[in-house]
Amino acid sequence: MKANHLFFSTVCALMLALPVGAQTLNNEVLLQGVSLLDTPYVGGVLDREDTEELILNTDELDCTTFVEYVIALALAPMKENNIKDEMAFANNVQKLRYRDGQINGYTSRLHYMTEWAQNAIKAGILEDVTATNSQYTMQVQTTYMTSHPNLYRQLANNSENMQQMRAIEQRLNGTEVHYVPQKYLPNDGFQWIQDGDIIMFTTDTPGLDIAHMGIAFHVNGKLTLLHASSKEKKVTVSKVTITKMLEDNPRWTGIRVLKVIK
């Protein structure tokens, strides 16, 4: 087991040694995230086939599928053989990834994280703790996909998908969300941002709402990110704080924080 894997697994084990009452869903989310450390980062895994079907591939992750699988694992009950219930895991992924949990072609997948979050909140899976803790708001832009069809194979040569995607973008565009602007996020975070919370990075890239996502993890009191990193090409814990990640990515403007509640 690699040194960092051992370190983080030890930290999580210590946390889980807390009295059962304190052993929250947050800890289970963190533990599932740590269990995927070093998994290779691979983009576009959901876009390999022409037909839209439920893909369950925890061996090749990007930032979004990493978060989806971790939440789905955390919420799945353990079977008697100490293995997570596979059917529950699959159902959880489908509920997170598709509008109202229904698979109906490419545009039924929740491509913009603004809608992905709305859907999970509506399903009672996530709570937007940013809304109750930060007074700062922004209006998201969601035109990126139809203005960059060359980046999305299922849009590039499919006028019906383009038309459906435009309608989705018009519905989402301008949605007001709470966030923590970069300049107000200290290196050790806030008391209300806890290990296992879901972090989404807001962006000012024209037409895009969210640029990256991961899981909050305090290391030595500093708020870092457990995430599938496209730079490090694997699931890892950031060597720098989330605040420093914001400083290092000029197009990133702040964070939204969501808590797994069921």
177 Cβ contact list (under 8 Å, min separation 6): 114, 128, 130, 131, 137, 138, 140, 202, 256
Among 29, 70, 145, 155, binds ligand 2YP (CB under 6 A): 145
Do 242 and 185 form a contact (C-beta atoms < 8 A)?
A: yes
Among 230, 232, 239, 250, binds ligand 2YP (CB under 6 A): 230
Beta carbon of residue 129, minimum distance to ligand 2YP (angstroms, whole number): 19
260 contributes a contact to ligand 2YP by CB under 6 A: no
Q: Rounded to whole angstroms, how far apart are CA atoms 252 and 38?
A: 25
Q: Phi/psi at 160 (nearest 5 deg)?
A: -70, -45
126 contributes a contact to ligand 2YP by CB under 6 A: no
113 contributes a contact to ligand 2YP by CB under 6 A: yes
Type and span of the H or E element at 223: strand 222-229
Beta carbon of residue 109, minimum distance to ligand 2YP (angstroms, whole number): 5
244 contributes a contact to ligand 2YP by CB under 6 A: no
106 contributes a contact to ligand 2YP by CB under 6 A: no
Q: Rounded to whole angstroms, how far apart are CA atoms 179 and 194?
A: 16
95 contributes a contact to ligand 2YP by CB under 6 A: no
Q: What x-and-dash track marks residues 31-60 binding ligand 2YP by CB under 6 A?
A: ------------x--x--------------
261 contributes a contact to ligand 2YP by CB under 6 A: no
Q: Rounded to whole angstroms, how far apart are CA atoms 59 and 55?
A: 11
212 contributes a contact to ligand 2YP by CB under 6 A: yes
DSSP alpha helix (H) spans, the chain: 3-16, 25-35, 63-75, 86-97, 113-122, 129-133, 144-147, 153-156, 159-172, 242-248
67 contributes a contact to ligand 2YP by CB under 6 A: no
42 Cβ contact list (under 8 Å, min separation 6): 60, 61, 62
Among 210, 237, 242, 257, binds ligand 2YP (CB under 6 A): 210
Residue with Cβ nearer ligand 2YP (145 or 260): 145
Binding-site size for ligand 2YP (CB under 6 A) equals 19
Do 115 and 165 form a contact (C-beta atoms < 8 A)?
A: no
Q: Looking at the chain, how many residues does it have?
A: 262
Alpha carbon of residue 177 to chain centroid: 16
Beta carbon of residue 69, minimum distance to ligand 2YP (angstroms, whole number): 11
The span of 76-84, 117-125, 170-178, 211-219 binding ligand 2YP (CB under 6 A) equals 211-219
111 contributes a contact to ligand 2YP by CB under 6 A: yes
Report the residue closest to ligand 2YP, judged by CB: 63
Enumerate binding residues for ligand 2YP (CB under 6 A): 43, 46, 62-65, 109, 111-113, 144-145, 208, 210-213, 228, 230
